[in-house]
Amino acid sequence: DGGITQSPKYLFRKEGQNVTLSCEQNLNHDAMYWYRQDPGQGLRLIYYSQIVNDFQKGDIAEGYSVSREKKESFPLTVTSAQKNPTAFYLCASSPGGAGETQYFGPGTRLLVL
């Protein structure tokens, strides 16, 4: 059953705490992406990776970090430097890079306590 999985579905963060969101894909896609969605808004790009061991900042990378050690995995860490982390986080992948169709996971809702 191919697709993109994200975990957890809901995540609660205390002030000053780092948390990591998981994104896994078994589609054999080269490129992976992280987006943030605030209520009533569109999606904004946080980070993307077009190949293993390489990634680039998107429009709103401050306060976030990523790694791409395996082709199928692209975890996102929300650090304590991110002052307003409450949002819906979506992971996506595409077969190649620019211009190719992106497919999205089900998302993780992060709430700061």
CB of 16 to other proteins, least distance (A): 27
Per-residue mark of binding to other proteins, 31-50 (x: CB under 8 A): --x-------xxxxx--x-x
Return the closest-CA partner of residue 74 out of 84, 59, 63, 64: 64
Site for other proteins, residues 88 to 107, rule: CB under 8 A: 88, 90, 97-104, 106-107
All residues at 6 or more sequence positions from 69 whose CB lies less than 8 Å from its CB, including other chains: 52, 53
Burial of 34 (0-12, 13-18, 19+ CB in 10 A): buried
Binding site for other proteins (CB under 8 A): 33, 41-45, 48, 50, 56, 58-59, 88, 90, 97-104, 106-107, 109
